[in-house]
Homo-oligomer: A and B are copies of this chain.
């Protein structure tokens, strides 16, 4: 069994930003020489999401607006600590913070429209994603 661990760093210009990281993950897989396995892609901060869906401009707006409807900015108990990002924590839970991608014949085994997104909800500072690949 082979294993590879890499970290992707993000420091988005906007507080909220959706970044397509499919190619970065694919590069890690191809460099590894692993032909068959699983790769975990997981946000290491609790105010960012990680999900798979279509890279379509309108849909990205829909997803962003939807997270505001279901996890709106507002007043949260968490803010008693001095924080102001309670909604970003809930958005992380709503979208999920990780995906596991199959690696088949040295490639990401994704469907035709599947793209991997890092969804930043509290950016403008350095944050990390771990990419952990195991296989052979």
Instruction: Out of B43, B61, B79, B96, name the residue touching A77 (CB < 8 Å).
Output: B61
Query: Which residues in B have their C-beta under 8 angstroms from that of A25?
Result: none
A81-B54 Cα distance, complex, nearest whole Å: 12
B5, B36, B42: the one within 8 Å of A3 (CB): B36
Q: Does A59 contact B (CB under 8 A)?
A: yes
Q: For window 92-114 of chain A, which residues contact chain B by CB distance below 8 Å?
A: 92-102, 104, 109-114
Question: Which are the 6 A-B pairs with shortest beta-carbon distances?
Answer: A44-B111, A58-B77, A102-B132, A3-B36, A59-B78, A58-B78
**Least distance between A84 CB and chain B CB atoms (Å):** 12
Q: Do A38 and B134 have beta carbons less than 8 Å apart? A: yes
Is the beta-carbon distance between B109 and A132 smaller than 8 angstroms?
A: yes
Q: Please report the C-alpha to C-alpha distance between residue A120 and residue B53 in the assembled complex, in whole angstroms.
A: 15
> Quick check: A93 and B93 within 8 Å, CB to CB?
no
Residue contact A89 to B58, C-beta cutoff 8 Å:
no
